[in-house]
Every structure is written in structure tokens, then in C-alpha cells.
Amino acid sequence: MFKPNGSGAARARHRAVKAKAQTRLHDKQSEPDYRELRINKVGVRGLKFPIQVRDKARAVQNTVATIGMFVDLPKEFKGTHMSRFIEVLNAHGNIIHVENIDDILHVMQEKFHATTSHLEIEFPYFMVKKAPVSGMESMMDYVARFDAAACGKESDFVLTVKAMVTTLCPCSKAIAIHGAHNQRGEVTVQIRSRKPVWIEDLIEIIESSASSELYALLKRQDEKAVTERAYENPVFVEDLVRNAALKLNAHPDVTWYKVEAENHESIHNHNAYACLEKGQPAGKRGR
């Protein structure tokens, strides 16, 4: 038997119930938490996003960063709203500019009602290098990183640069009749500074502190020059961090630094490591 408006009325009631339920979506994150434990950093990590950084040779360089965004969470709240981090990031456009970092930190504080905010940005950085003899050009990639934090109106910024180099062992050269073993070393320099410091300047400090720098493209005459340069300039891992530290000591704008070097040894089944730090890290200034 046909019932006019029967099925239509049922569907209408169903839609009304569903709409009412949707308007009552529960905010689980804002529930109180009774464990009385404040969380220092909570947020998102591993987010890929395009950024634009200053390039000493070409004004700007476009690259892609891996980003982490965090705030502190008061003890009375159960959780934070993760989607808001992405909202903050996208609100600044489809490219992050280095000049926007402070703005992003303070917007995060406001949006989350947080005392502190943190932003970590790691990205590949490219430079054109000329081979030492042939002059042939090739692209070299490095790793750069920005670690920024804000606490109230105070902010902190650390620039990190990683570069690979060649080191030749002074002991091996001194005791061997023929040749000396060498290895590829990874050097990490972190700095705080009064004024912005070029990524390229830190790369130059790292590469000039080693036995030789690396190149993506070398012809035979270049390979001969690089090999001989390394042989004439042997350095231990200890020499490597000290050489870089001396150059950082002479930089007028660097207020704190940490230099780490790790040599991937060619004749041992372990790596050689050294670390040298100088200056007052964040949180200890003025004490």
C-alpha cells in the first residue's frame, strides 16, 4: 500500500538527527587531564613544505624542507589540535620565507594559547662549485637547518650546516712508506649570531678546515690536484674541529657555536668523533 510522504518524512527525520549529531562533535582534546603533567613540546613532525632561503650568489634559493612545529601543553589539557599547526603554516602562503619565522612562532603561541613555540626546518641547500683545475661546474648539495623557538616575546635561533669533507690521517702519513689512508668526514656546525650569517660562509669554514673539500665533478687533472692537496694537508678529527673553531672565534657576529666532526674511517670498523663548543647556549644568557 502506498503511503504518501511516509518514506520522505523518515528520510527528513534521519537528516535532522544526523545534522544535530554533527553539530555536537565532541572536542576531546579540550577535556581536562588529571595527571598534573605539563608537556614541553607537542605538535607535528616530518611535514614537507616548500621554502625560500637567502642565497649569497643568486639572492634567493627555492627548496623543500622537512618541518616540525611544536608548542607546550599546560597540565590541565588532555591534548592539542594538530590540524591547527597546518592551518598556521598554510596561512603564510604556499612558500615559507625565512623572514616569516618569527611571525609563525608568535601566531602559534596565539592560536594555541601557548607559552612557548618551536619550529624546526631542515632542507637541502645547493651550491655551484668549480673543479680546482679544469674549472668545470657542478652542483653540490649540503644540509642546512633552522631551529627557532619563542618563549613569550623572547626568541632564539640556531643555524646548522652539515658538509662532507676529505681528511687524511697525519699518523698514517708519518709512519707509512707509501701513501696514507684517508676518509670522508661529516662536519656539523651550529651557531647563534647577532646578525644573520650566510650558509655559504659556514660551508667555506667547514671545507677550509679539512684536508680537502669534495666535488661532484672531477676530471683526471682535478682528481690529481685534490688527492695531492689532501696528502699535503693531513688532519685528525681533532684538528678538524679546532680549525673550524678558530675561524668561528674570529667571526664578529657568532656568539655561540658547536662543531662536531665524524670521520668514517677507511681502515677501521668504527668512526672517529670530536666535538667542540663555545659560548653561552640559550637559557643561560644573562645568568
**Residue ranges with strand state E in 152-203:** 154-168, 182-193
Residue 272, in any domain of the structure: yes
- Give the 3-state secondary structure of residue 113: coil
Tell me if 141 is assigned to some domain.
Answer: no
Q: Concatenated DSSP letters for 225-260?
A: HHHHHHHHS---HHHHHHHHHHHHHT-TTEEEEEEE
In a shared domain, residues 275 and 169 = yes
- Note down the domain range covering 180: 160-287
On whether residue 148 sits in a domain, the answer given is no
Specify the pLDDT at position 16.
Answer: 62
In terms of DSSP bridges, do strands 116-130 and 137-151 run parallel, antiparallel, or are they unpaired? antiparallel
Domain match, 183 and 262 both: yes
- CA 129 to CA 222: how far, in whole Å? 13
Domain count for the chain: 2
**What is the domain-level CATH number for residue 280?**
3.10.270.10
| pTM for this predicted structure | 0.85
**Which one of 111, 130, 149 terminates a domain?**
130
What does the pLDDT profile of the chain (287 residues) look like in tens digits? Answer: 444 455 666 676 667 656 655 566 666 666 777 788 899 999 999 999 999 999 998 889 999 999 999 999 988 888 788 999 999 999 988 888 888 999 999 999 999 999 999 999 999 999 999 999 999 999 999 999 999 999 998 999 999 999 999 999 999 999 999 989 999 999 999 999 999 999 999 999 999 999 999 999 999 999 999 999 999 999 999 999 999 999 999 999 999 999 999 999 999 999 999 999 998 766 554 32
Residues, the chain: 287
Q: How far is CA 149 from CA 15, 157, 282, in A?
A: 47, 7, 10
Cα gap 126→139, rounded to integer Å: 6
DSSP element (H, E) containing 127: strand 116-130
- Supply the pLDDT for residue 213: 97
Which cell is 60 given? 634567493
Nearest residue to 121 via CA among 149, 94, 141? 149
Do both 178 and 122 map to the same domain?
no
CB-CB neighbours of 144 under 10 Å = 21
In our burial notation (b when 16+ CB lie closer than 10 A, e otherwise), range 87-107 reads ebbeeeeeebebeebeebbeb
**Residues 54 and 60: beta-carbon distance below 8 Å:** yes
Pairing of strands 154-168, 137-151: antiparallel
